[in-house]
A and B are shown apart, each in its own frame.
Chain A
Amino acid sequence: MQIKVKLYASLRRQKFDEADWEITPDQKIASIVEQLGLARQDVGTVLVNGLHAGWDETVAEGDVVSLLPRMGGG
């Protein structure tokens, strides 16, 4: 099934801004990140359709998965 993946900041610069992505129906977010070739420790926040989500969650056809890098400030 197809989802949309959006990447931000340093992740975007590594790969792409936005892309349609083929996944299997029961594929978890952790696996999607791996499939994208991103290091899990580089991803700080995952949003599914704008809401925070966890690594073990699955997504549905047409969902928008946004991946944000780790952030911090000072």
Chain B
Amino acid sequence: MSEKTISNNPESVVYKRCTVDLASGTTTFAQVPCKNLEDVLGGFGRSFQILAERDIAEAYCPENPVILNTGLLTGTSIMTGMRSYFSGYSPLKKSGTGRPGAMWSTGSGNFGNKFKWTGLDEVIFENRSDKPVYALLKEGENGPEVELKPADHLIGLTGHGKIMALYQEYPEAHFAAIGPAGENWENNYMGAVVMSTDNELKSGEPKSRFAGRGGMGSLMGYKNLLAVVALSSDKLQKITPEIRDVNRDILKSGGSARFQPASQGGGGGTWANIEVLQVFHAVPLNNFRPKGNDDVERLFRDEVEKEFDIATEACHRCGIRCHNNLFYKNEDGSRGKLAAKFDFEPLILFGSNLGVHEPAKVCDLIHRCDLLGMDAISLGTTISYVLDYNERHPEKPLFNGATFGDYDKITELIEDAGRGKLPGIARGVKRLSEETGETSYAMHVKGLELPAYLPDTNPGYMFAIAGGHMSMGTHMMLAKEGKHSLEEWTQAITTGGLLQVGYDMIGLCKFVGVGIGHDIIVRALKEAAGLEIASADIVAAVRRAYLRGLALELRQGFHEEKEYTLPAQVMDAPNPKVTLPKFITNEFLAELRQRVWSVFKPEMEGLLPVQGE
């Protein structure tokens, strides 16, 4: 999509698509006119329209594509504008009818830029290859070129290992790869896409970013597509005074400040959430069941700093610098080798929520999950269920009998799950809990495991369409604002909360931290992509894209009452240790569902294509 093609008339905007038939190895290029503003903005706004055209009953079928695309601001000089998106019907997210839910997953690093700079906006991987391959996307003299290459030499390597092996061959490229989890797609539905960063390639250390949610890495594995290489020259957009101003405002806005380094007066990344949520004893502990004690305080930044050297690092040219990478300290106090990246989700889900509170052990568990290429949220939350089950049933435990805090046995579970030896865990907590018959404390909604925010505090999870907190921005509303009435939650879910997904259309990171209709976004689209558009039109396009996703869920068989709910434990056994208001009852959820659907349903009409047309 070139700047010249951008205008306010969507049909006059064309994007460059390559369709790759993995079965035959053929590639087809097309200039595709946009149907609507969602198409223009990109990301899931575009990919879900493609998915909606298909009737998919099983995630692992040749007709289920992997769609790789970008957002309108990917590859521009707007700060954080480097996201790429992987979409398809998820092996993990499934309805009660057994049909898969549509998903997208996204990550940063520098892969998205390099991909955009090949001249492509979208690649659709169709069918499956009969042997392992990787896709080489590159800019050619006459436009983008795409080739499939044998990938036998990559088999069995970690995601980081694949990236570094390909880097030897393509030192000017960036990479998206799967790990052993994705390769073992039959027994592992939570494989992530591992994406390279500049820091990773320079240092050789595993500082990857991840498009983790929904098993898009497993879907790649099913297709025998082990990696994607994006090879292009850097095409850094000139930073005009207007773009400079937008970037300055991103950095100065309160929204991103909370993610900036503590040493620069910022909040220190999502890590700081632990201390804030602990004020309410609302940090997940022992499978989302806080005990009202101070166990999690051992993971506060001050405590961890005693043991580790913390480096704040960044994705490509990003001033927010949200990465908190922990390094071991050498005996002389100097920085040793990388221990792990310490973001809120993996930190909690492999730490307190598994009953593990020693930072070094938590680092090790995170590190193993990352190398094996799994979604930290899905794996951590499924393992916490296993530990909970085993504590309840010491006489007939699951798997190796691991219980909370049993680091050695948890390590075994991670390794075995990642290498396809434990389908009971790696197919996710919904399936596992249905097998055990104990579903009340299985922490998922619609088959997607919950992130590290208690469901007791967030009925908005019910209406997330791509994972709890990434596609419904209500996860901290109760702690932040104390709101707990039906009116407030209806309002939050049907307006502000759903706008969180807008970032997953335009190519920016959510850590820009302002509302999607904010003046900063309007100016960014105008200055960097030439799209002059009113805030209200952006908001309307995001809303349509979200509602299309919700309509697609219903079409795939998600029951509008039974599956738009929370784990039963939340309603049946409220946790007295959490000091926030306890307001979620079955009656509250029923009324909330009714109110939300009454707002959404009329707007959902006509958003999906009529199948067969």
Contact = CB atoms under 8 A, between A and B. Distances in A.
User: Is this pair of chains taken from one and the same complex?
Assistant: yes
Contact of B268 (A9, A44, A51): A9
Contacts of A42: 254, 257
Contact of B270 (A8, A68, A69, A72): A72
A45 interface: yes
B107 to A, nearest CB: 11
A47 interface: yes
A68 B276 contact: yes
Interface in B500-535: 509-511, 513
Contacts of A10: 258, 262, 265-268, 272
Nearest to A66: B279
B275 interface: yes
- What interface size band does chain A fall in? 20 to 34
B481 A41 contact: no
A72 B255 contact: yes
A70 B470 contact: no
B475 interface: yes
Interface string A35-69: 00000011011010011100000000000001011
B510 A69 contact: no
Contact of A45 (B254, B255, B479, B513): B479
Contacts of B510: 74
Given A8-B279, A9-B272, A50-B579, A74 B481 contact: no
Contacts of A69: 258, 267, 272, 276
B469 A74 contact: yes
B476 interface: yes
B469 A73 contact: yes
A74 B266 contact: no
Interface residues of B, number: 35
Interface string B125-136: 000000000000
Task: Select the residue from A9, A12, A70 with max chain B CB neighbours within 10 A.
Answer: A9
A14 B579 CA distance: 26
Task: Select the residue from A9, A51, A74 with max chain B CB neighbours within 10 A.
Answer: A74
Nearest to B510: A74
A71 B481 contact: no
Contacts of A71: 258, 267, 272-273, 276-277, 476, 479-480
B583 interface: no
A72 B266 contact: no
Contacts of A12: 275
Nearest to B483: A52
Contacts of A47: 279
B523 to A, nearest CB: 20
Given A8-B276, A74-B510, A45 B480 contact: yes
A8 B275 contact: yes
B511 A74 contact: yes
B344 interface: yes
A22 B32 CA distance: 66
B482 A51 contact: yes
Contacts of B476: 71-73
Contacts of B475: 73
Contacts of A44: 258, 276, 480
A41 B254 contact: yes
Q: Which 5 A-B pairs have the closest CB atoms?
A: A52-B482, A9-B275, A41-B254, A9-B272, A74-B510
Given A10-B258, A73-B270, 16 more contacts: A8-B276, A9-B268, A10-B265, A14-B265, A41-B257, A45-B479, A45-B480, A45-B481, A51-B482, A69-B267, A70-B258, A71-B276, A71-B479, A71-B480, A73-B475, A74-B469
8 contacts: A10-B268, A10-B272, A66-B279, A68-B276, A71-B273, A72-B255, A73-B273, A74-B469
Interface of B: 254-255, 257-259, 262, 265-268, 270, 272-273, 275-277, 279, 344-345, 451-453, 469-470, 475-476, 479-482, 509-511, 513, 579
